[in-house]
Structures are given as structure tokens and as C-alpha cells.
Amino acid sequence: MPPTPPRLDRAAADDTAIERLLLDYTRRVARYPGGRRAVVIHLSQLRPDNRRGHHIRIAVNTFESLVKQFDGQIFLLDNADIVFVCKNASIAAIDEAITRLRYLFGEDPLAAELDETAPDRFATWYDLERDNDDFVAFVETMHDQAVKRRKRLAVIAGVAPLAESQAMDAAALAELAATIERADLSSMTRRQAIAAIMGEEAPKPIFREIYFSIAALRDAVMPERDITSDRWLFQHLTQFLDRRMLVFLRQSGAQEIAGSFSLNLNVATLLSKEFLDFDQWLRARSRASLVVELQKLDIFADLGAFVFARDFLRERGYRLCLDGISALALPFVDREQLGLDFLKLSWTPDMADPWPTERLTRFRDAVQRTGASRIILAQCDNEEAVAFGRTLGLRLFQGRHIDRLLNYTASPALARRR
């Protein structure tokens, strides 16, 4: 998807998030280099008066049309260099954008230099089918330089480098939120099916949950922080991610939401302009295909806001699911009274242990009251979880074991061996 235009007011001691994102992206692309080209625009070599914020913004925007046409990605590095990677774009199309930049910076010696007998110092090209190793080496060098630059600045400022797995704080949250706003998060998007299992039949996907991987986000953007360490700060972070997800889906188009799907959103997001824009973008018939998942902590933090959002969603045709319910909490949750379509019960290995008779009876009664077909047993990472759910009459399951079953049945070669 086209990335959000980068913010250009980075402080001198800002982190190396963009460089880490580029490094992660480059290593993934290295596995599938076919048809891909990369070009580096060395704006860092321009004279200082040609490297002002508005110059950089124009330079980034020059590649926007190519991003949409050729599955492109733009990275604005800490040193102001631009890295553009795309697939199946002609040399002429890319060169046209570079020519416009040369014209923009025409008075700078770097851009005006057109000696065909010498390497071009303004732009460096990489054909990733041929030059992939060179490109990876360049990106690794940029990342290492950014890390060293940050450490030098930290020493000058008298600030110690961040320790491994340091807890999240408000300053780090603001820094991470700024990165999320300008970074392309498409590589961190995950999709996991919620599938129905009936009798001896193979699992049948009912809808897919679309979400950003928190682990991938942490590893690529802020590996030195435990971004889930503070529950309330993490709740704020998910609101930033909600907005990016809504933008991502709109920019990706209808193919991304073909069929039924679910999104885990905050109540505050449902009351935001971003969601209203998303709602208007969805066709009326598509609204019925979206299951909005909500966290119990978010619901009970402000019941009034939840009720308002719930009534709006139900009026518009959406379905609702309460996520993150434990076996202990299930008997205390009344799905119908809350006006929900589904409850998502989290599987834990201790649920397979023998239960006291009274607790098991209360749990079974809760399943019956909720409706076995309205409970999704999530985090099913093994057969034991599915077997437990089926003894209760549950039909809907989600987790890595379900992914494996679906991949197995989807493979013609494997299916012939069954």
C-alpha cells in the first residue's frame, strides 16, 4: 500500500525505526527479487539549502504515482536519502521521476552532474535480480550508520542508550506513534481464519481476522522496548494502529476485504472520524461481512461509550464480538444483554486439566446460555484445544492448529494422500 508521507520534523536524537523497517523489508524482498528494482536518491549529498523540509516533501511525492502503479515502497532515511523499491516498473518510468527531481534541484552541482563516464552521484540503481546482494549490503550499511549516529548523539546529549527490553513510557509511545503514522505497515499485516468444524468434515473458513502483528512491529520498529509492558499505554498504541488499519484497508481496495472478515478495534476508534470515513467507504452489503471485535477492558472502561458505539454499529449492519474472555470469566458474561453476536474464548492449556464438578457445571451452563455456535475458541495451537471445544459443542475455532489444518486441506498434493 502507498505509505503515509513521512514526517520531516525528526529530532536529531530520534530512533532508527525507518532504517530498521527498510532492513526488514529488504531481507524479505531478497527472497523474491523477480522484477524488482530499487533506486537510492542521495539527497544527503545536496547542499544544505537544498535539503529543507519542503524540498524533501516534494521529492517523496514525486514517487507517489509509481508507488500505486508498481507495488512500490518509499523509505525516507534519517540522513534524508530516499530509497524507492518497486516491481515490474520500466526503467523509463522510474527515470522520468528522477529527471523531475534533477530539474527540481537543478541548481545543485550534484543534480546537474551528468557525466556518463563516471558513476551517477545523484541516484544509484539496483536491479534486484542481479544486484540483490549489493542492495542488501547498502541497506545494512545505512542501518549501521544510523545506529552509530544515534549513539554519538546520545553521548553528546548525555543520554544513555536504551537498555534491552526497557519498559514502555509516554515518551517512547509518542516516538512509536510518530513512526507508525509515517511507516508502511503492510508487511506486518496478518490474516487468520476463524473456521467452523462440523462432525468429521474438514474445517471451513467463516471469516478472517485482519490485524497488525505486534511482535513484527516491535522487532522492526522498537526492539529495545517491551511495548506491551504498560497496559494503558499499549491501549493508546492500539488506537494509533486502528487508524492505520482503516487507512490500509481503504487504500488496499475491495480485494483486501473480499468475503467476511473481522477487525479488533477500540471503542474510541468506532467513535472517530476515521471510522466514519471507513463506514462510508464500505458498501452497505459489505458492512454485514465485518465482525468488529472489542476487548473486555475497553468495553467496561466506559460502558456508556460502548453502548453508543454498539447501537450505531448494529444499526449499520455490523456484527460484534467480545474478545479475550477467559474460562473463569465466561459464566459472568451475558452475550445477549451486552448486545453481542459472538464471544471469543481464549484457550489455555490448563483448561484440559480435570475441573471441579461445580465449576465445570457452571461453565457448561454458560456455554449453553451464550450459544455454542456463538463462541469462538481462539488460540487453538494444538489438537487438544479443538478436542476440548468439541466436547462442549463448540463449532468455531481460531489458531495456529486451525491454520495448519486449512493449509493441509488446501494443498491438492496433501489432499490426495488423505
Q: What is the pLDDT of residues 332-357, one digit of tens each?
A: 899 999 999 999 999 988 888 888 88
The pLDDT score that the predictor gives to residue 366 is 94
Query: How many angstroms separate the CA atoms of 143 and 17, rounded?
Result: 9
The pLDDT score that the predictor gives to residue 408 is 63
Are 257 and 249 spatial neighbours (Cβ–Cβ below 8 Å)? Answer: yes
Is the pLDDT assigned to residue 44 strictly greater than 90?
no
Higher pLDDT, 110 or 261: 261
Helices (H), 326-370: 335-338, 357-370
Question: Which residue, 187, 40, 59, is CA-closest to 119?
Answer: 40
The pLDDT score that the predictor gives to residue 415 is 38
The pLDDT score that the predictor gives to residue 104 is 79
The pLDDT score that the predictor gives to residue 398 is 95
Question: Which residue, 288, 350, 335, 282, is CA-closest to 315?
Answer: 288
The pLDDT score that the predictor gives to residue 315 is 92
pLDDT in tens, 14-26: 445 778 888 888 8
Query: How many angstroms separate the CA atoms of 54 and 312, rounded?
Result: 41
Query: How many angstroms separate the CA atoms of 119 and 354, rounded?
Result: 72
Work out the average pLDDT over 90-103: 87
Of the pLDDT bands very low, low, confident and very high (cuts 50, 70, 90), residue 1 is very low
Question: pTM for the whole thing?
Answer: 0.61
Is the pLDDT assigned to residue 162 strictly greater than 60?
no
Kindly list the structural domains of the chain, giving each domain's residue range(s) and its CATH number in brackets, ordered by start: 17-161 (3.30.70), 175-417 (3.20.20.450)
Query: How many angstroms separate the CA atoms of 80 and 64, rounded?
Result: 17
Is the pLDDT assigned to residue 11 strictly greater than 50?
no
pLDDT in tens, 207-259: 999 999 888 888 777 877 888 777 778 888 899 899 999 988 888 776 667 78
Of the pLDDT bands very low, low, confident and very high (cuts 50, 70, 90), residue 175 is confident
Residues in the chain: 418
- Percent of the chain residues past pLDDT 90, beyond the cut: 32
Q: How far is CA 388 from the centre of its chain?
A: 31
Is the pLDDT assigned to residue 264 strictly greater than 90?
yes
Mean pLDDT, the chain, whole residue set: 82
Query: How many angstroms separate the CA atoms of 366 and 53, rounded?
Result: 59
Q: Please give the grid coordinates belonging to residue 86.
A: 518497486
Q: Which helix (H) or strand (E) holds 231?
A: helix 231-252
Kindly give the pairing relationship between strand 123-127 and strand 82-87: unpaired
C-alpha distances in angstroms, 328 versus 151, 157, 332, 333, 376? 48, 50, 8, 10, 16
Beta strands in 296-331 (DSSP E): 319-325
pLDDT in tens, 282-333: 876 688 889 999 998 888 878 899 999 999 999 999 999 999 898 988 998 9
Residue 116: Cβ within 10 Å count: 5
Tell me the residue type at 311.
D
Q: Please give the grid coordinates belonging to residue 240.
A: 494509533
